[in-house]
Structure 1
Amino acid sequence: MVDLTKLKSPSDWAAVRGEIEAAVRGVLGPIPKDPIDLQIKTVDEVEFRGYTRRRVNYFVDNWERISAWLFIPEGKDEAPGILCCHQQSPQGKDETAGLEGDPRMAFAQHYAELGYVTLAPDCITAGDRVVSRAKAYDTKAFYKENPKGSIAAKMLLDHMRALDVFAEAKRVDAARIGVIGHGLGAFNALLLSAFDDRIQACVASCGFTRFATDKEPARWARGDGFLLIPKILDCVQSGKFPFDWEHILAMAAPSPTLIITALSDSEYANPRSCQKAVTMAAKVYKLLGAPNALDFYGHHDGHRITLEALEVADEWFERWL
């Protein structure tokens, strides 16, 4: 595993980054980012005060079309875009759009009201993408067809396609694209920021704990039907991980990244783990001349995003987008 504290110069990082990316890809499995014709279609459109909400669908590969909520704020000028990744809820994109579930998770609606173009797609196995007669987040059907892949890599690829939607959508300033997520959404937001340099600002709430100090590292490949990263089980059994979360954060550098962590999180019970990852990744941000572009915010309200934390996220996007 690469020791980030030993990096001395930006040229050191250029070589090391490729090594880290190869290690991450080795665990995630194939990420076949081949160009496709999205064929974006608007299914319906509803106007609200301050924004319009569209239900759109588009291809994520040569066979599957998925649906998403696209919010367009009032006005004619180009606006920054924010991709809103949903948490592990069966409602998927509908919660992010404010139609169901926890109102605090309605990122797409919230940021549209603030003047951003927002997009909220379903992850595979959630929302409209639940396989017939299966429960949300049941991944068995996926692995039957993709035995060498991972749901994590598929989600990453699908979120890259979402950025392609932004590139084709009117009113979006393609040079100012952000991503936000909580829980599983934060996991996806961080991976996307690490692998796609179109992301110019990232906010991730309660999305990880370091593998090295995780008392339950098999959470990433648990046997309840939701198998996120199968190869992590090999790492758990050997006790050797080829990368950790500080490496994911470092891969995103120098893109501005805000980590929000609950200091009393029942899901990830070691908040110091997140702080340590941020501290180690900050070395890379500093080397690349962006020491203020990686930050950490903690709260004491459990595995959720608080109103205060959301205000911090708002300020982050306003600052960097």
Structure 2
Amino acid sequence: MTFDAERFRHLLGFEERTADPVAAEIEDKGDFLIERLRLRLGGEEVRGFLTRPAGAAGRLPAILYGHSHGGLFSMGARELLDGREYLLDPLGPVFARAGYVTLAIDMPVFGERARENEGFAAKAALWHSRPLFGRMLSDHGGALTYLAGRDDVDATRIGAFGISMGSLLSCWLSAIDERIAAVAHLCAFADLRTMIALGKHDGHGIYLTVPGLLNEADGGSIAALIAPRPQLVCVGEADALTPMPAVERALADLRPAYAAAPGRLELISEPGVGHRETARMRAGVMAFFARWLQG
């Protein structure tokens, strides 16, 4: 059986979602605006945060932001405004000042949705062969639909960004949804089979368990579905969650997909760096999105 975007959607139990606005509060921060959103998503009211440039006219490039995990279930989408210990600083204001509309929503079991814990939700989903990460990606796809439909967004210039769990949200959604024009992902790219062989897979949450996936694909072949759309991979070479043998195996699977698209696959690999963003990664992300979303 051919592993393609449609097959991947099936393994994930991916569902198409719409995200309809219920309410919005706007805060003017001077050079950028914050929208505190309530979106009706899959029958549930979900919190979201959006940042955008102040005073900008017309349709702007946009970024769908996947928030991270890090065991802090109370954070969720607020990461866009508050940042995390492994980010240099919060990216919502940074992206807005650079000219982007950026949206983050609470994933299931995070933020306001943390009333349901990860193990409870994942185990119930797995009994139905519907992994929790498939539910997360379905919601992330609904957020993308909302973002693409906004009057201030150019739907042909939407990128995806994330670190850690947000990296996987961004990469895997890009693999199954061609509306994402370019993706930059940090600190999660790896070959899962190699991680299991090394005994490093248990550092990742049960949310990521997708039954049967490794019979057909792995980190590199999933990311290869994004080609020839631009992709930036950032890794820390001392990151215990993505050991370098697993990163190198995934890169070996990914690179051939870009053989006919030179310059569209970029790698920033930082020696001695663990599970965190660096100044070089930040500069690379900003330059990457400027090149592919702003032209």
Category of TM-score, reference length = shorter chain: 0.7 to 0.9
Mapping for residues 1-321 of structure 1, pairs under 5 Å:
18-21=2-5, 24-25=8-9, 27-28=11-12, 30-33=13-16, 36=18, 38-61=19-42, 63-74=43-54, 75-88=56-69, 89-90=72-73, 91-98=75-82, 104=88, 106-131=90-115, 135=117, 138-141=118-121, 143-144=123-124, 147-214=128-195, 215-216=198-199, 218-219=201-202, 226-231=206-211, 241-269=215-243, 271-287=244-260, 290-299=261-270, 300-321=272-293
1:39 partner SS: strand
Would you say the 8 A contact 2:88–2:278 is kept in 1? yes
Q: Which amino acid aligns with 1:68?
A: G
2: distance between equivalents of 1:142 and 1:268?
Answer: 22
1:99 and 1:256, CA in 2 relative to 1: closer, same or farther beyond 3 A?
closer
Would you say the 8 A contact 1:96–1:105 is kept in 2? no
2:208 partner SS: coil
Would you say the 8 A contact 1:201–1:317 is kept in 2? yes
Task: Structure 2: give runs of 5+ residues left out of the alignment.
Answer: none
Would you say the 8 A contact 1:87–1:184 is kept in 2? yes
Larger of the two Rg values belongs to structure: 1
The alpha carbon displacement at 1:319 in A equals 0.7
1:156 partner SS: helix
* CA root-mean-square deviation: 2.4
- Give me the TM-score of the superposition, normalised by structure 1: 0.81
1: distance between equivalents of 2:289 and 2:204?
Answer: 32
The alpha carbon displacement at 1:105 in A equals 5.5
1:101 and 1:47, CA in 2 relative to 1: closer, same or farther beyond 3 A?
farther
Would you say the 8 A contact 2:108–2:114 is kept in 1? yes
- Give me the TM-score of the superposition, normalised by structure 2: 0.87
1:105 and 1:229, CA in 2 relative to 1: closer, same or farther beyond 3 A?
farther
2: distance between equivalents of 1:199 and 1:292?
Answer: 18
**Over residues 268-306 of structure 1, what are the superposed CA-to-partner deviations in whole Å (9 max), with x where a residue is unaligned?**
22x24323423432212223xx22111111113210011
Aligned length: 285
Task: Structure 1: give runs of 5+ residues left out of the alignment.
Answer: 1-15
Would you say the 8 A contact 1:156–1:192 is kept in 2? yes
2:175 partner SS: helix
1:199 partner SS: coil
1: distance between equivalents of 2:102 and 2:284?
Answer: 18
2:225 partner SS: helix
2: distance between equivalents of 1:266 and 1:102?
Answer: 14
The alpha carbon displacement at 1:159 in A equals 0.9
1:309 and 1:41, CA in 2 relative to 1: closer, same or farther beyond 3 A?
same
2: distance between equivalents of 1:204 and 1:260?
Answer: 6
Would you say the 8 A contact 1:139–1:151 is kept in 2? no
The alpha carbon displacement at 1:257 in A equals 0.5
The alpha carbon displacement at 1:104 in A equals 2.5
2: distance between equivalents of 1:100 and 1:316?
Answer: 22
**Over residues 16-40 of structure 1, what are the superposed CA-to-partner deviations in whole Å (9 max), with x where a residue is unaligned?**
8x53446534543x2121x64x331
1: distance between equivalents of 2:110 and 2:29?
Answer: 26
